Structure 1
């Protein structure tokens, strides 16, 4: 995978993460939701 493709992939994953965070209602967010967000961040970190 080229550097440009990696960057594009990371941008897409970060955008998906931010969209998910924006849609979350703090009153209805569960521990499982937070765990999934942490997992998404860990996956992003591994890609870097």
Structure 2
């Protein structure tokens, strides 16, 4: 695994990079060729991103 992301700036940078990756994936999707599995992967990416936001929020509260 990678090193822990603890600093507020590191956390923000990480989230921005992940969101950028998600947006790039969306930009390259061809709706007429998109399958249910593709949509499931997108939802998974959003769930992972949301999980990181929550994880970072709880670290700040500690």
- Superposition RMSD in Å: 0.4
| Number of aligned residues | 48
Match for residue 18 of structure 1?
23
**Where does structure 1 differ by over 2 angstroms across 4 or more consecutive aligned residues?**
none
Structure 2 residue runs without a partner (length 5+): 1-5, 54-62
Task: Please report the TM-score for the alignment, with normalisation by the length of structure 1.
Answer: 0.96
**Where do residues 9-48 of structure 1 align in structure 2 (5 Å cutoff)?**
9-48=14-53
Of the two, which has the highest radius of gyration? 2
Structure 1 residue runs without a partner (length 5+): none
Match for residue 11 of structure 2?
6
